[in-house]
Every structure is written in structure tokens, then in C-alpha cells.
Amino acid sequence: MRAIRNGVSLLTLSALLLTAAACASDDGGDTPAAGGDASAGASGEIKEGLSVAFLPKQVNNPYFTVSDNGGKAAVEEFKGEYKEVGPSEASASSQVSYLNTLTQQGSDVIAVSANDPNAICGAVKQARQGGAKVVTFDSDTNKDCRDLFVNQVTAQGIAENQVKLISDQIGGAGKIAILSATANATNQNAWIELMKTELKKSEYSKIELVTVAYGNDDDQKSFQETQGLLSSYPDLKGIISPTTVGVAAAARYLSGSQYKGKVVLTGLGTPNQMREFVKDGTVKNFALWNPADLGYLAAYAGAALASGIITGKEGEKFTAGKLGEYTIGPDSVVVLGPPTVFDASNIDQFDF
Amino acid sequence: MVRKRLGTWDVLVVAVLALVVVASSVLVDGFATSRFWGFLLLDVIPIALIALPMTLVIITGEIDLSVASVLGLSSAVMGQLWLSGTPLPLILPLVVLLGVACGAVNGLFVTGFGLPSLAVTIGTLALYRGLSYVVLGDRAVADFPFSWTGTFIEPLPGTTVPWVALVVLGLAVVFGVVLHATPIGRALFAMGNNDQAATFSGISVAKTKFWLFVVTGAVASLAGFFWTMRYASARADNGAGLELAVVAAVLLGGVSIFGGRGTLGGVLAGVLLLITLRNALQLADVPADTLTVVTGTLLIISVVGPNAASMLRDRLRRRRPA
Amino acid sequence: MTTATKPAQGASPPRARGDVRGARRLFVIRELGIALALVLLVAVTTISNSRFLSAQSRKDLMLGATILVVLAVGQTIVVITRNVDLSVGSVLGLSAFATGKLFLAMPDAPIVLAILAGVGLGVLCGAVNGALIAIARVPALVVTLGTLYVFRGLDYSWAAGQQINAADMPSGFKRMGTAVVLGVPVLALFAVAVLLIAGFYLRSYRSGREMYAIGSDPDAARLSGIPVGWRVFTAMTVSGALAGLAGVLYAARFGTLDAAAGTSIELNVVAAVVVGGVAIFGGSGSVYGAALGAVLLSTMGAALPVLRIDPFWQQAVVGSLILAAIGLDRALTARIARRLRGRRARGA
């Protein structure tokens, strides 16, 4: 009887395992030999057959789905092997586990957006020792860990753009607030610091930044924080939300409230999320880089590194397909370009 | 009879573990490498560490869901202490003391006030995690010296096995001996089977359970210290959700959620099975969604399995005399 | 027939009606206590910022409480039977995403269909939980912990990174999310209806009372002929259905949907139920108390930013509230027990 019992349990479990193992062999089979068969191209040609892995902050995040698909398009152009892996929740420790896995699989290029600038450093170093070129995009690690950082935009560019957008709409005077992501989000904090510097300029002297609220890049939390901002500061003229989750949540709150059209909102958002609010008059304009281009550039930058075209030193140049030529700046950073401003006149030309 | 059934479940978990290892070695590229096992053991350490006292707690019929929050609070306090200039050799005992205090609060509420541990530790899960945000906010402290952070992931010379894994193994032996070969261990099983009977047999149920919660808190804070060193980053959200993985591993290892049944060996096999399967699937590029489903399914199988098996056996037995 | 005296049923001699009334009074006091805390919180916040009770803000507070109240009602029914449902957050996420998908596929679908689909999906998930608990006799804590992972994983792989935007939803459905009737948001009316129906059922129906009996002593309930397995199955299914409904309400309120909707809300739901005076080991408590607990928690979430208290304190406060609530309940039941003993002694 015991045998039967064990048999049944064993059967169930082994069925489960076999299913998993079957998937495993399917996927594991087509991993190419680690760049060994790729044809050399020190002359500026990107090698064929490079294995490129994208590791976003979390999979199932629409922003990263778009940027990773941009990367996929690039990898297809230079005939590499593309894959996207990553955790379902944005935590630093789970990214380490995926980096370890990619190291063992012998990836040639790893494009990663860091959940924590330090926590994944050790794993990134191990990956590089294992032969991979590591490019960070969107969110950087410490600069001595990775080979190259593909920055969507300079922090200065964002700060100038955002302050100008809000100032134009509130007539250069009044109280404003910022609705940010998490309080330790590397990007947002750098931008906010520069916005504060920007606001000290004489043309913005009548604008007062009253507070920075944190919506944790969580839709519901951002929604509630917007609500809190408007009830704590009755004379608030405008809100800057330099995060796609925050600006969409804030716009949705405003559009369903009495403040619609009275309180100005701008920030960084995606056209698909914001289209409705631009059309119903809640939001006049907002900005963003094109995340698909960001992923595309990261893939090309990684491939250029793995092909020996560049090494990551300042001043080196490489060509990123349709985006043209890029030059590496100080601290091994490549900048995608200035942000695009979206308003009612151009928003329908974009789909992301 | 009960012990016998137990034994078979442990053996089954070990067998499945062996099967996973063999199948993955054949089917998954890069599985049968020493590097894989080095990485895997680093992932196993915090879960295995917390699972040791958790096994004892669940065997007495209680539960501690606050462990991951104690880990996070320890990490946050470490970061704050480091910022204020405390040297690491002093931080370690302070953090363990913090864990002891957290565990004592749990223990006091459960044994002193006679409240259900499930409700108490759901409360302290929120409280301790909340306090860790109060301490460190959303900042990350990451400037620990490499001489420390590097040491904690250092493998034993000539291998890829991290030395910390041996420490955990040593602790596992201690917990195993206490649970299975001492009167204290027998008392723990007695409490899980019947609190009153245990009381009448002269065991101080309240006192024993109190100290068990204290030990759990202390071990969770040790895990927090290790976590912070391994990821070289002290954050308030460190280890969020880890309690579920620990409880899943303990139950998978054959410990009854109602108390009174279980072995430490089974739990260690459960931890290894959970992590090995996860890392092997990850290595085989199985997406994160599927890993989530597999974890949940394993947990359900681990409880449905033994129950269904015993039901089947009862039915067979009833049929036989007829 | 009050809940508090249930544990003593069967073993103890018949009691005077006065004891029962006294015990019930204590539990009314318990619920009044939460209501008082709520009033106090609102008063303090309003004094510090009068806009906290403006028409707009009142509407926001009610909307904020809606989803938590619906989930708390379902959870109460489950907890009363000495079970727990940790999978509600995942069911909510699944149902919210399904609602979005439905409108993507059929932009002209009537709202009723969306609600039915969401609730139907919830019933299905709840039935899976219920079947595992009632038929395979597995503890609810473990089963729903497992299905928490499974349902969320299914949700993720179904969504595959897709986000559904407010623009994809029909305007009628979005209007339901913001519409107001007599100063009360339409969505909040759903919560009120759910609360009243569940409250009436648990109080006045035989099967409702049997839920309490099961939670007080499952073995005694089984011996006295109550179909325990079936009732527990029903409780889990109802909880699933309400989580499904909450998913549709979530979709209507927030408009933007991805697979992560409702992640880790289960902790807040259990907290609301416990703060609301429902005993975690079953047999006692009411949906009204749990609803008050939910309103208290969500109002606190809204009040902290207005009071300009560091939002990092929020979780710590929730934790302390849970501990305070279960401590208070313990003290109350001890007092009831003493009172009952006292009466009996005099009567004898």
C-alpha cells in the first residue's frame, strides 16, 4: 500500500518535473556557442550570432516591454540571438539570480536596467569575468561595475525641459509640487535636484516648489498621493511627475476631479497612456524619450562592445543602425538624445 | 504509524530532489557545473537558515510570519548604524540583539497574552517592515567595505561552496539534534500534538514557546546580516515576501501545518528542492510567471499529496476485509 | 444567539438571556470603538486641514474604501468559519485584467456582462480553493498561499507585459468609476449593497448561523449535522466571487490595468478584518465590524499624506493597530467569560 501511495505522489511530481524538463530542453537547445562561431569584425562590423539578453527591472512592465522589443528589433538586424529574462517583481536580489544564470549560460551581451545601483554590482562583475559585455540602460549601476551605460537623456536635459513646460503653462508664477517614483529612484532624484537648481534661475523666481511626493511607481499609491497633494495645498498651480506611472495616475485623478483644467500637470509619460488626457484637456503636454529607441541603442552598444568596435572609453564612436552614429561620453555613458515633447498636435504619430 | 508515514514523505522529497538533479543535469545546459551549485547555495542560505527555527515553531503548532520583516528591519538598522559610524564587528551583535527583541515581542504576545501566533505575527510582519521604512526610508546604504561583503560570498578554498553554507549546515545539525534527540525536542512534538497533554506532563509550554520565538527572531536577524553583506546593500525592503518561501519550504519538507509532525532533514530537502527546481528552470529560460505557478503548485501538492495518499490508503484498507 | 458565547455551546448549561445580551453589548461596544477611532481620525485630520472633508475629498475617501470593504466582507465570511483566504489579491488582479481584456475584445460589451465575467472568474477561483479545502481536507492557509502564487502567475503569463490603458475602456464603464449618486460614488454603493446582503445573511439565515457554529467548533458542528464541507466550500466561493467583483470595481476606478493589480492587498484585507473585531480563529465577529476596519485603514492611508506624516509610518501604524485590536479582543472575551461565570455562580 505504501508503494502505491508513493507511486501516486511520485507520478504527480515527476509528471510536473518532466513537463518542466521538456520545456527546458526545448529552450536550452538553441543557445548558441558563446560567440565562438561569430565571424570577427574588428574593422567596425558587428559580429553575427551574438547572444544578447535583456534583463529589465521587471518583466510584465509595459515600459520595459516596449524598450526590450526595441532591443529585439536591433538584435534581429545584426542577426544575433535575442532573449528577455527577468523577475516578476522589481527587486534587486532577484535580478542577481538572473545575472548569475546568464553568466552560466555564457551570454555575450547583457543589457540590464538596475533595480539597485549597488546590489547587482557583484553579479555584474562576475558576468564580465565570465566573458559577457554588460550594458546598463534606463537605470545605471555604479560606473565601475558595467562596461557602458546607455542613458535615455541627460539629467540636465530633463530638468530644463520639465521646468520649462510647467512654467509656460502656469504663467511663470505659483506653487508647484513634484510627484516622483520611489524616494531612492536614482533617475528621479538626480532630475529633481537639477530641477531645483533650474528653478533658482531668475526667470523662474516666482515659482515655488512646495513638496516632493512619492507614489512609489505604484498606480494606486500615485493616485492617492495626487489626491493628498491637492487637499494639502489648496493653491497648488501645477504638478510635475517625472515618471510614467505617476503622471498617468495623476492625470486620471485630475480628469475625474474638480481640478481638471485648473491644476496644470506635466511630466514624463507614454503617448498611449496619456492620449486620452491630452484629448480631454486635462494635460496640455508632456515629454519622454522613445523607450523602443533606448532598447535599440542598448543592443547596438552591447554588440559593438562584444565585436571589439568599442571598449567603452570616452570619445569612441559606433553606429547604431537607423539611429546613426553615437559617441561615448565621460564615465562611459552614451546619451540617446533630447526628450520629445508630446501634445495634441503630434501625439497620434506615436504608438508606444 | 504516524512516524512511519512521515518517514515516507521525507524519503519522497529526497527522491524527487534526486530526480530533479539527475534530470536537470542531463537536460539543462550549465546545470551540472560547480559554478551553478555555488550560486545556488548562496540563494539557499537565507531560506535554509530561517527554515531551521521555523520548523521547530511550526512543529509546536505555532507560526511566525514576521521573519522576513525582521530580516528587513535588521538590514535597515545595519544601514543606519553604519551611516552613523558604528564599526561592523559591533553592528553584528547589535543586530542579533534586535532580532532577539523582535522575537521576544512576538513571544510575549503569543505566550504572555495568549493570542494566536498567526494574527500576532501578521501584525508584527506589518509593524517590523513599517519600522524598517521608518529607520531607513527608501534609501539604500551600500558603502560597506569590500573586505566584509566579499568575505561573505567567499567559497571554501578549491571549491565553489560558500563557507557560510557550512555554518548553516552546522546550525542545522544543532537544531536537528535538539529536535530529534533531546527531551526538549520530544516536548516540542508533544505541544504540537496536544498543548494540554504537554502541560500536564510537566513541560512549561509558554516558556518553551517564548524562547522559540526569540531564537527565530535572532536567526532571522542573522539572515538579515548575511543578506545585507551578500547584496552589499542595506535596504528596508530586503527580503520582502521571503516568509512565504520559508513556510513553503518547511511544509514541502513534510512538516504538518497543525504541528506535531515533521523532521528537520525533510525540511532541508524541501528547501533544496524548491531552490534547485527554481534555479534549474531559470537556467532553462522558463519565464518568471511559470516559476511562480510552479512554486504555488508545489506548495499545494506538498499538503494535498500526503492527505490524498492517506485517504487512498484508508479506502484500500476498508475494502480489503470485505 | 450571539457569536461570542458560541464556544461554550454544548458543554455549558443553558444560560440566561441577560448574559447573551451583555456579551452582545460588549461586541457592539467593540464596533463602536472602531467607529470612534474613525471619527477621531477624521476630526483630527479635518482640524489640521479643512479640505479633508470637502465634497471632492469625501468622494475620494469613499472610493478608496470601496475595494477594501468588498474584500473584507468576503474575508469575514471565510474567517468566521475558521479558515482564511490569502489568494484574494491575486483573484482581484486576474479579474481586473479579464475585465480589461473583455472590453478590448468587445468594446460595446454591456457593463453587466463585465461584472458577471469578473464575478464568474472569481467564483471559479474560489471554487478551486474551496474544493481543495473541503474535499482534500487541506488547511486553507496553505491552499490559498499556494493559489496566491498560482493565480498571480497565470495572470502574469496571460498579460505577458501588456498594459490596458484607460483609453481602451468604454466611456460608460469609466463613467461608472467616477459617477456620484446623492453625494455617494456609484462604486461605493456596490460595497454598501454587498455589506448589507452579507450582514443580513449571516445574521438571519440558518446557513449563515451555521458558519459561526463551524468556526466555533468544527467537530461539534459536524456532529450536529451541519454540512461543514459544503458550508466552507460556499464561504470560499463567496470570497472568490467578491474578490472578482472587487477586480471589476478596480478596473472601473483605476482604468489603467496591468497584471500586478492588487498585489499584496491580502495583508490589508486580513488586517481590516482583524482590526474590525473578527476573531482569526473563527466563530465570532461581524461584517459590519470588518467593513469599519477597512474604512479605518483606508482613511488612515488617505489621512497620513494630508497630515504630512512621513508615509513610511503607515505600515508600522497598521501593524500596531492589528496588535492593539487582537489584544483588545482578548481582554473583551476574558471579561465576557468572567461575567458569564459570575452569573452562573449566582444562579446556582
Report whether A54 contacts A71 (CB < 8 A): yes
Mean pLDDT of A61-75: 88
Based on the domain organization, do A144 and A230 belong to the same domain?
no
Structural domain containing residue A114: 41-152+291-337
What would the grid cell of residue A145 be?
561595475
- Structure-model confidence comparison of residues C264 and A9, the more confident one: C264
Q: What is the pLDDT of residue A16?
A: 41
* Least confident window among A33-37, A193-197, B304-308: A33-37
- Which of 137-166 (B) contact C at CB < 8 A? 137-138
The rounded mean pLDDT for chain C is 84
Taking the C-alpha atoms of A164, A169, A175 and A176 in order, what is their torsion angle to the nearest 10 degrees? Answer: -60
Chain A contact for C166 (CB, 8 A cutoff): yes
The DSSP output letter for A36 is: T
User: Which CATH number fits the domain that encloses residue B233?
Assistant: 1.10.3470
Residue A133 burial class via C-beta count within 10 angstroms: exposed 0-12, middle 13-18, buried 19 and up: buried
Q: What phi and psi, each to the nearest 5 degrees, are found at residue A316?
A: -70, 150
Which residues of chain C make contact with A227, given a CB cutoff of 8 A? 57, 60, 302
Residues C220, B184: Cα–Cα separation, whole Å:
33
Report whether C246 contacts C95 (CB < 8 A): yes
- Taking an 8 Å cut-off on Cβ atoms, the answer to whether B140 and A118 are in contact is yes
Q: Is A351 part of a structural domain of the chain?
A: no
With cut-offs at 50, 70 and 90, classify the pLDDT of residue C258: confident
Question: Terminal CA-to-CA distance of chain C, rounded, Å?
Answer: 22
- Taking an 8 Å cut-off on Cβ atoms, the answer to whether B316 and A4 are in contact is yes
Chain A contact for B195 (CB, 8 A cutoff): no
User: Which CATH number fits the domain that encloses residue A69?
Assistant: 3.40.50.2300
Q: Is B265 part of a structural domain of the chain?
A: yes
Residues B255, B270: Cα–Cα separation, whole Å:
10
Cross-chain CB nearest to A1 (options B285, B288, B313): B313
Indicate whether B175 pLDDT > 90. Answer: yes
Residues A226, A255: Cα–Cα separation, whole Å:
12
Chain B contact for A16 (CB, 8 A cutoff): yes
Based on the domain organization, do A144 and A164 belong to the same domain?
no
The DSSP output letter for B109 is: I
- A125-128: which pairs have CB atoms within 8 A and are 24 or more residues apart? A126/A99, A126/A100, A127/A99, A127/A102, A127/A103
What would the grid cell of residue B79 be?
544601514
Residues A294, A272: Cα–Cα separation, whole Å:
17
Q: Is B318 part of a structural domain of the chain?
A: no
- Which of 148-177 (A) contact C at CB < 8 A? none
Query: Yes or no: is domain C17-343 CATH 3.40.50?
Result: no
What would the grid cell of residue A68 be?
526590450
Cross-chain CB nearest to A21 (options B23, B310, B317): B23
- Taking an 8 Å cut-off on Cβ atoms, the answer to whether A276 and C167 are in contact is yes
pLDDT digits (tens, 9 = 90+) for B227-285: 999 988 898 888 888 888 898 899 888 888 888 888 999 999 999 999 998 888 888 88
Based on the domain organization, do A51 and A78 belong to the same domain?
yes
Based on the domain organization, do A160 and A201 belong to the same domain?
yes
Name, in order, each residue with C-beta under 8 angstroms of A290's C-beta and a sequence gap of 6 or more. A70, A336, A340, A350, A352
pLDDT digits (tens, 9 = 90+) for C272-301: 999 898 888 888 889 999 999 999 999 988
The residue assigned the cell 466611456 is C171
- CA gyration radius, chain C: 21
Q: Is B204 part of a structural domain of the chain?
A: yes
Q: Which residue of B has its CA nearest to A102?
A: B283
Q: Is A210 part of a structural domain of the chain?
A: yes
Q: Which residue of B has its CA nearest to A214?
A: B138
Work out the minimum CA distance from C279 to partner chain A, whole angstroms: 29
Work out the minimum CA distance from C320 to partner chain B, whole angstroms: 6
Residues C240, A197: Cα–Cα separation, whole Å:
52
Residues C209, C226: Cα–Cα separation, whole Å:
11
β-pairing verdict for B140-141 and A148-151: unpaired
Length of chain C: 348
Q: Is A325 helix (H, G, I), strand (E, B) or coil?
A: strand
Mean pLDDT of C313-333: 85
Q: What is the pLDDT of residue C160?
A: 78
Indicate whether A84 pLDDT > 60. Answer: yes
The rounded mean pLDDT for chain B is 88
The residue assigned the cell 492625470 is A251
Based on the domain organization, do A276 and A160 belong to the same domain?
yes
Q: Is A32 part of a structural domain of the chain?
A: no
SS3 content of chain B, % helix, strand, coil (to 5): 75, 0, 20
Residue ranges of the alpha helices (H) in chain C?
17-48, 55-80, 88-105, 111-134, 140-159, 171-178, 186-204, 206-216, 218-223, 228-254, 265-275, 287-306, 313-347
Interface ipTM > 0.85 = no
Q: How many CA atoms lie within 13 A of A154 on its CB side?
A: 9
Residues C153, A59: Cα–Cα separation, whole Å:
12
Q: What stretch of H or E contains A327? A: strand A325-327
What would the grid cell of residue B153 be?
560570498
What would the grid cell of residue C5 be?
458565547
- Taking an 8 Å cut-off on Cβ atoms, the answer to whether A213 and C305 are in contact is yes
Indicate whether A14 pLDDT > 60. Answer: no
As separate numbers, helices (DSSP H) first and strands (DSSP E) second, chain B gives 13, 2
Mean pLDDT of A335-352: 85
Which chains form contacts with chain A, at 3 or more CB pairs under 8 Å? B, C
Mean pLDDT of A199-205: 91
Other C-beta atoms lying within 10 Å of the C-beta of residue A126: 18
Residue C51 burial class via C-beta count within 10 angstroms: exposed 0-12, middle 13-18, buried 19 and up: middle
Indicate whether A6 pLDDT > 80. Answer: no
Name, in order, each residue with C-beta under 8 angstroms of B122's C-beta and a sequence gap of 6 or more. B65, C267, C270, C271, C274, C322
Q: Is B321 part of a structural domain of the chain?
A: no
CA distances from A342 to A170, A350, B276, C164 (A): 18, 9, 48, 20
Residues B257, B59: Cα–Cα separation, whole Å:
8
Give buried/exposed letters for C205-215 (b at 16+ CB in 10 A, else e): eeebbbbbbbb
pLDDT digits (tens, 9 = 90+) for C32-56: 888 998 999 899 888 887 777 877 7
Q: How many CA atoms lie within 13 A of A348 on its CB side?
A: 3
- Which of 196-235 (A) contact B at CB < 8 A? 214
Residues B57, B212: Cα–Cα separation, whole Å:
7
* Least confident window among A134-148, B218-232, C311-325: C311-325
Number of domains in chain B: 1
- Structure-model confidence comparison of residues C318 and C124, the more confident one: C124
Which residues of chain C make contact with B308, given a CB cutoff of 8 A? 136
Q: Which residue of B has its CA nearest to C314?
A: B130
Q: Which residue of A has its CA nearest to B30?
A: A104
Number of domains in chain A: 2
Based on the domain organization, do A99 and A197 belong to the same domain?
no
- At what angle are helices C55-80 and C228-254 packed, to 10 degrees? 160
Residues B108, B210: Cα–Cα separation, whole Å:
7
pTM of the model: 0.81
Question: Terminal CA-to-CA distance of chain B, rounded, Å?
Answer: 23
Cross-chain CB nearest to B283 (options A92, A105, A214): A105
